[in-house]
Structure 1
Amino acid sequence: MMIDIGMGSVQVGECDVMGHMNVRHYVSRALEALDWLGLELGLGPSYTREHGATLAPADQHIRFVRELPAGTPFSIHGGVVHRRGNTLRLYQEIRNAATGAVAATIVTDAALADASTGAPRPLLPDIAAATARLKVSVPDYAAPRGLRFDPPHDALSLEQAVELGLSLMHKGSVQLAECNEHGLMRADGVISRIWDGVPNSPARGVRQQSQPIGKIGSAALEYRLVYHRPVRAGDLLTVRSGLKAVGSKTTTWAHWLFNGQSGAAVAVAEAVGIAFDLTTRKAVSMEDEVRRALEEFVVPSLSA
């Protein structure tokens, strides 16, 4: 059975231009809850202070089920799905505390990592008892739909991304506010950089030309995030993105984050998104003309 690992309410500063909590803050709040789950596993703050290691996400699948507007109270619940070697598969769900409805589900493959360097550490030998006590199953409504969640492909290099024609969406440098106390960027910084770059997509204008200004927005339905290597405060980051597929209502993107100096991939995300009516708060079907125009942007064989 899942245990309570988080509680709070959505703040105005956590909401985006669409009027609901931004994807970054779903991840940020889930990370806070992961710390409480770590405590139940014997990996709480005292363990981190003594041994310099903490649980860190390596691979995540997220489904966004319902919106959370400003002021909404929420609770977070979770447990351990299974252990594979030094990796724990963890399950979390964020619920609207006023209605009990599930707002988001997060399945995370996490490992013990050095809090200062991000280097992997072995799990505690006696963690089996705690994982058994926290055993849960991933419910059907949290299973992948538009995205896979099997082992990731090899990482692209920046050179390969350029050769594939992936669009430059973002350039920046990592700030201390995005990092833990040791200067390593938190996982929510990855999705934050992606979302910051989305308006720069050359495909964005295709949908905007056919939609009434101020009446149509966009939202993420599903994300898969793979964290390839640690990122430190001061590192340069660049994001290059490509369109994978176009459906009747959805678009599927792959976003690659690279170290701007070395060109090495630090993370990748795949995302399924929709356009939705800002008045009815429902998904909007794509016009045939728009779909055909978007299909021109599809990059064949693009994957994470």
Structure 2
Amino acid sequence: MIIIGRGSVQQEECDVMGHMNVRHYVARVTDALAWLLLEAGLPPSRAGFVVRDQHIRFLREMSPGTPFTIAGGVLEAAPDGLRCFAEIRNTATDAPAATFVTDLAAPAGGLALDALRVALPAHAAPRGLSFAPPRALPDRGAALAMGLAEGYRGAVRAHECDAAGVMRPDGVIARVWDGVPNLRNRGTGVGVKEEGMGSAALEYRVCYLRPMRAGQLVTVCSGLRALGEKTTTWTHLLHDGETGAPVAAAEAVGVAFDLAARRAVPIPPARRAALEAMLVPGLGL
């Protein structure tokens, strides 16, 4: 692999859990992938790229001030795109913090890829989520009829869009995260700070179905697909607020996270009972 990114975690990139939020992992890797394509012979001045699908594994926390290095390479190539790999590593410890497998739409013909080819490390392979092509997804009305609940309702902001006016991938995953507390704490009367129990993502899969542009209205409807001793698996569907059509989708495996001990713990009985009532049979991408 080659080095395609470097930096350090900034305080404003961290969430209420005290570690870097998923949107900033995605933002940093999106920047790094542009450097990977530059090495392949596709600079931003020649053409851009579009993220189609992404599988993410979160392996270790990154707190404010953590230095990191991003390494990457190309896993597969097709005439209309690339499957790329990127790994964020703690520069101080050299331990991997997160891995990304990303399908890009890009003009791959004529690129210099031989020196960039890599194999997928075992610790980056899908574990709890499939990376197979997604099935046909329901529109907003059908999703609500299935039992999914709305966690987010808002609009795409201009500063979240790229030079082509399309919402960046970090904005998409940010919508999912923004809506999660409305689901997890629904009816409890408490938030993360009051209960001392948060959550941490282990694995994400995000499908980018249609471009979203500034001013476009967006909702996120979510449902609980599976429940383990410590883990929850959620399916999140993003819909165009005007037409109800699906524009993106995500699945996430997370753990109950003790904010003081900084470790995963079994889901408390009261929360488990509430979650069991939220399970949606047959849900998934």
Residue from 249, 267, 283 that aligns with 1:268: 249
| C-alpha separation in 2, matches of 1:213 and 1:162 | 30
Q: Secondary structure at the match of 2:46?
A: helix
Residue from 49, 67, 90 that aligns with 1:73: 67
| C-alpha separation in 1, matches of 2:82 and 2:231 | 31
1:84 deviation in Å?
Answer: 3.4
Question: 8 Å contact 2:77–2:108 — kept in the other structure?
Answer: no
Q: Which moved more, 1:158-167 or 1:13-22?
A: 158-167
Question: 8 Å contact 2:226–2:234 — kept in the other structure?
Answer: yes
Q: Paired residue for 2:85? A: 91
Q: Paired residue for 1:14? A: 13
Question: 8 Å contact 2:54–2:205 — kept in the other structure?
Answer: yes
Residue from 138, 141, 148 that aligns with 2:123: 141
| Unpaired segments ≥5 residues, structure 2 | none
Using a 3 Å threshold, how does the CA distance of structure 1 residues 227 and 212 change in structure 2: closer, same or farther? closer
| C-alpha separation in 1, matches of 2:104 and 2:109 | 16
Using a 3 Å threshold, how does the CA distance of structure 1 residues 208 and 218 change in structure 2: closer, same or farther? farther
For 1:250-289, what aligned pairs fall within 5 Å after superposition? 250-288=231-269
| C-alpha separation in 2, matches of 1:199 and 1:178 | 22
Q: Paired residue for 1:116? A: none
1:214 deviation in Å?
Answer: 5.0
Residue from 97, 104, 113 that aligns with 2:98: 104
The AA in structure 1 aligned to 2:86 is Q
TM-score of the pair, normalised by structure 1:
0.89
Q: Secondary structure at the match of 1:110?
A: strand
For 1:158-173, what aligned pairs fall within 5 Å after superposition? 158-173=140-155
Question: 8 Å contact 2:75–2:83 — kept in the other structure?
Answer: yes
Using a 3 Å threshold, how does the CA distance of structure 1 residues 133 and 217 change in structure 2: closer, same or farther? same
For 1:43-82, what aligned pairs fall within 5 Å after superposition? 43-48=42-47, 54-82=48-76
The answer to whether the aligner puts 1:126 opposite 2:110 as a matched pair is yes
The AA in structure 1 aligned to 2:120 is V
Aligned residues: 285
The answer to whether the aligner puts 1:23 opposite 2:50 as a matched pair is no
Question: 8 Å contact 1:79–1:135 — kept in the other structure?
Answer: yes
Using a 3 Å threshold, how does the CA distance of structure 1 residues 208 and 89 change in structure 2: closer, same or farther? farther
Q: Paired residue for 1:37? A: 36
1:208 deviation in Å?
Answer: 8.2
Question: 8 Å contact 2:82–2:108 — kept in the other structure?
Answer: no
| C-alpha separation in 2, matches of 1:208 and 1:270 | 26
Q: Paired residue for 1:183? A: 165
For 1:166-245, what aligned pairs fall within 5 Å after superposition? 166-201=148-183, 203-205=184-186, 213-245=194-226
The AA in structure 2 aligned to 1:193 is R
Using a 3 Å threshold, how does the CA distance of structure 1 residues 212 and 97 change in structure 2: closer, same or farther? closer
| C-alpha separation in 2, matches of 1:193 and 1:286 | 24
| C-alpha separation in 2, matches of 1:124 and 1:266 | 25
The AA in structure 2 aligned to 1:161 is A
| C-alpha separation in 2, matches of 1:206 and 1:81 | 45
| C-alpha separation in 1, matches of 2:109 and 2:258 | 52
Q: Deviations over 1:108-165 (max 9, x none)?
A: 01112xxxxxxxxxx24312xx222200011000111111111111122112112112
Q: CA RMSD in A?
A: 1.8
Q: Secondary structure at the match of 1:155?
A: coil
Q: Secondary structure at the match of 1:225?
A: strand
1:207 deviation in Å?
Answer: 7.8
The AA in structure 2 aligned to 1:28 is A
| Unpaired segments ≥5 residues, structure 1 | 49-53, 113-122
Q: Secondary structure at the match of 2:52?
A: strand
Q: Deviations over 1:251-285 (max 9, x none)?
A: 00001001100111110000011111222211011
